[in-house]
Amino acid sequence: MAWYLSYIIIYFTFMFALGVFYFLRVKSSKDYLIAGWNMGFWSIVGTIISTFCGAAVFIGWLGMGFTVGLSGFFQFALPAVFFSILLIVVFAKPLRRQKLFTLADLFSERFGKRTGVIPSVLSAFVYSVPTLALQMVGMTTVFTIAFGMEVNTGLILAFVLILSFTILGGLPATIITDAIQSIIVIVGIIALFIASIIYGGGFGEIISNTPVEYLTPVGPDGLGAVLLFALSVGPFYMIWQSTWQRIFASKTEEVAKSAGVTGFLIAGAISFLPYSIGVIARNYVPSDMDPDLLFSYVTVEMLPPYLGGIVLVGLLAALMTGATSFILQGSSNLTVDLYQHMINPDASEKKMMFASRLTVAIISVLGLLVAFNLTDIVTMYQWALRLSAATLVFPFLAIMFWKRVTRAGVEVSMILALVATLLYPYLNIPIDHTIFGLTISLVSLIVVSLVTSHSKTEQIHAVYWENLASSKRKL
């Protein structure tokens, strides 16, 4: 316990020292929420790695590797990396030129403030709150492993630490600490992977004792199941606001693109390791073990405290950065999209800073309430991704590429897709959940846009093509 306590005290001392530094330095909501659009290459690379490798990677994906094998990587992590890189390669430059705060900002600029409400609410409450809860549960796991702390006590402690750091430093502190924490994350997961191989008897012993279906890309459920699961999570990463925030926070378009691609390539390579650890663990843990408890088991049982402490701090680093990023994502939605756009368009900078920190507290409290009732990490995360993707992916693509899309088309599409996705479990129809929601979204978007006219408040343009034409004119 002494090793664990020493590492954790050193870690949080460092974190809060930086938090206080940025509390004294950050004077505007632009700096607090979007880091003044001024972050460099390695800061963006580090924050992408740290944010991507949160509770889902260390706990959920390790457990997924245990239950379905390496196919979990091809179902979840690889689609997430692919669609994230696709977003960055195709859209980083035109989005960075918009100098926005949130995804909802894009909808509001194109169709008016009312249209931005739905993506804002989805981002703040459907995604940010439950994923924040995942990070709190993950931190509680660390406190339980290290100190035998009771779950509810651990959740409250996690809440206090996360909220305090986020209120202090905002996105600048988050990104700078992320860049440093990414090294801890990488070292921690690699250490656990190497220890797993040694504990499992080496590669040859592991492969000979593991059923082949756990070592193949299609797994025990076959190619169809892998592709359908990939489709249920992958498209979300086109509209994952954490990546959008990193694009906006980059100091140039080139940094947004190059750092984004680099960060996700590294994160993708790292994310293969927890699935591998999960597969290896099948050789030495009970087959009926709760997958969400696997991380704590292998860390405590396999590693000496001086090394296990590094792994635990690596997990804490990933969880802290994920938590602060998700809080600030929700805070940006509530502060900019709802408070500034809908309630007080003339808000002073002092009021914007107050609103920013107040909404950080609101999102944090809601996350804590969800965390008290959270039972299934992977299912909860998949539902958040599915709802967001079905509702927002095609409207986003239409804004970027289709000039003819109308406000009515986008609003009807978002509402119908949201309702259809929520009702799907009760409809008993032979179509995959996500395909059903995306189909409703696409069909309603096209049909309603074609039979309606542009409203007087719309800016009638396709953002991607307009930016492309602007680039050519500059050349």
What digits encode the pLDDT tens for the residues 105-151? 888 888 887 888 888 888 888 888 888 888 888 788 778 877 888 88
Domains of the chain, CATH where assigned: 2-378 (1.20.1730.10)
| 71-118 tens-digit pLDDT | 889 988 899 999 999 999 998 888 887 777 778 888 888 888 788 888
Label residues 329-359 b or e (16+ Cβ within 10 Å = b): bbbbbbbbbbbbbeeeeebeeeebbebbbeb
Tokens of residue 412, six digits: 């009807």
- What is the structure's pLDDT at 414? 93
The answer to whether 355 and 118 are in contact (CB under 8 A) is no
Q: What is the mean pLDDT of residues 446-467?
A: 85
The answer to whether 241 and 329 are in contact (CB under 8 A) is yes
In angstroms, how far is CA 53 from the centroid of its own chain?
9
- pLDDT of 473 strictly over 60: no
- pLDDT of 1 strictly over 70: no
Q: Which residues pair with 39 in a beta bridge?
A: 250
Three-state secondary structure string covering 199-244? HCCCHHHHHHHCCHHHCCCCCCCCHHHHHHHHHHHHHHHHCCHHHH
More confident residue, 50 or 251: 251
- What is the structure's pLDDT at 159? 92
Percent of the chain, pLDDT > 90? 17
| 207-221 tens-digit pLDDT | 888 888 888 888 777
- What is the structure's pLDDT at 55? 57
Q: What is the mean pLDDT of residues 305-321?
A: 77
- pLDDT of 169 strictly over 80: no
Q: What is the mean pLDDT of residues 423-438?
A: 84
Residue 99, phi-psi category: left (phi > 0), alpha (psi -120 to 50), beta (remainder)? left
- pLDDT of 419 strictly over 60: yes
- What is the structure's pLDDT at 57? 64
- What is the structure's pLDDT at 312? 79
- What is the structure's pLDDT at 417? 92
CB atoms within 10 A of CB 457: 12
More confident residue, 439 or 380: 439
Q: What is the mean pLDDT of residues 415-421?
A: 92
Q: What is the mean pLDDT of residues 227-232?
A: 80
Q: What is the CA radius of gyration of the chain?
A: 22
Q: What is the mean pLDDT of residues 329-341?
A: 81
- What is the structure's pLDDT at 87? 93
In angstroms, the CA 170 to CA 9 distance is 21
Confidence of residue 448 (pLDDT cuts 50, 70, 90): very high
Residue written as tokens 């592991």?
206
For the chain, the average pLDDT equals 82
| 398-413 tens-digit pLDDT | 999 999 999 999 999 9
- pLDDT of 364 strictly over 50: yes
- What is the structure's pLDDT at 407? 92
Q: What is the mean pLDDT of residues 281-296?
A: 76
Indicate the pTM of the whole model: 0.82
Residues 384, 386, 392: CA angle, nearest 5 degrees: 100
- What is the structure's pLDDT at 475? 47
Percent of the chain, pLDDT > 70? 90
Highest mean pLDDT among 93-97, 161-165, 471-475: 161-165
- pLDDT of 56 strictly over 80: no
- What is the structure's pLDDT at 404? 92
